[in-house]
Amino acid sequence: AAGDDHGHSHSGIDPHVWLSTENARIWLDVFADTLAARDPEHAETYRENAVRAAAELDALDARIQDRLAGHQGAEIVTFHEAFGYFVEEFGIEVVGSVRPGDASAPSAAALDALRDLVAEHGVSCAFAEPAYDPGLLDAIAGGTGLRIGTLDPTGSTQPVGPGQYAATLEGIAVSIADCLEA
């Protein structure tokens, strides 16, 4: 959709499947099996790499669990509905998002309703994204004490390379924990 940071609509389906280490583990086996079938000569290498990557995912998962320990059930607001898989996996609750799932601009009434939700739930943290102007969050936060952090669902602020995926997920966890602990 025009203006959406990564070209999709969120109507009913959360396309942000990469924000789950559980999903990533499933993909490892699929990738290894598919590559092994297409390149039998190197099948063992693909499978060994998948086992090594699964161990790295286990370590990543443990680091995220450790960083978010003590924040289970914490309620946050996000800029858009990108974090469903992540928060479900790691025990955080999203009570609302600024941008509707269909990528349209939020109405004044929707922003008022979100501000009411923040007050009703005692939400202390809301999160902007690098691709969007945080002005709408600032408007919601005005006078409430709501702290504004940044979550990067696409890893756009991380160096491109082999560590980008882990850095992206860890960055989300650190941002959430740091905001909640401020």
Q: Is the pLDDT of residue 20 over 50?
A: yes
In this structure, the answer to whether residues 143 and 168 fall within a common structural domain is: yes
Cα torsion 54, 59, 63, 65: sign = positive
Whose CA is closest to 77, among 64, 60, 96?
A: 96
Q: Is the pLDDT of residue 10 over 70?
A: no
Higher per-residue pLDDT: 1 or 27: 27
Total number of domains in the chain: 2
In this structure, the answer to whether residues 97 and 177 fall within a common structural domain is: yes
In this structure, the answer to whether residues 82 and 170 fall within a common structural domain is: yes
| Sheet of 125-128, strand order | 93-97, 75-78, 125-128, 147-150
How many CA atoms lie less than 13 Å away from 13 in the CB half-sphere? 4
In this structure, the answer to whether residues 169 and 84 fall within a common structural domain is: yes
In this structure, the answer to whether residues 157 and 78 fall within a common structural domain is: yes
Give the pLDDT of residue 14.
86
In a domain, 168, yes or no: yes
In this structure, the answer to whether residues 86 and 31 fall within a common structural domain is: no
Give the pLDDT of residue 8.
44
In this structure, the answer to whether residues 59 and 80 fall within a common structural domain is: no
In a domain, 11, yes or no: no
What average pLDDT score do residues 53-65 get? 98
In a domain, 21, yes or no: yes
Whose CA is closest to 89, among 176, 2, 179, 6?
A: 176
Which pair of structure tokens corresponds to residue 57? 């995912």
100: CATH:
3.40.50.1980
In a domain, 1, yes or no: no
In a domain, 7, yes or no: no
What average pLDDT score do residues 19-31 get? 96
Helix (H) / strand (E) element for 29: namely: helix 21-38
Higher per-residue pLDDT: 10 or 130: 130
In this structure, the answer to whether residues 39 and 121 fall within a common structural domain is: no
What average pLDDT score do residues 140-150 get? 90
Q: Which residues pair with 96 in a beta bridge?
A: 77
Q: Is the pLDDT of residue 63 over 50?
A: yes
**12 band by pLDDT with thresholds 50, 70 and 90:** low
Give the pLDDT of residue 99.
87
pLDDT digits (tens, 9 = 90+) for 85-140: 999 999 999 999 998 666 678 889 999 999 999 999 999 999 999 988 888 898 88
In this structure, the answer to whether residues 82 and 154 fall within a common structural domain is: yes
Higher per-residue pLDDT: 144 or 167: 167
In this structure, the answer to whether residues 38 and 62 fall within a common structural domain is: yes
In this structure, the answer to whether residues 44 and 112 fall within a common structural domain is: no
24 lies in which domain range? 17-66
Mean pLDDT score across all residues of the chain: 91
Cα 25 off chain centre by = 17
Which pair of structure tokens corresponds to residue 134? 């945080």
In a domain, 9, yes or no: no
Give the pLDDT of residue 5.
42
In this structure, the answer to whether residues 29 and 96 fall within a common structural domain is: no
Q: What pTM was computed for the model?
A: 0.89
Please answer whether residues 30 and 50 qualify as being in contact, where contact means their C-beta atoms are separated by less than 8 angstroms: no
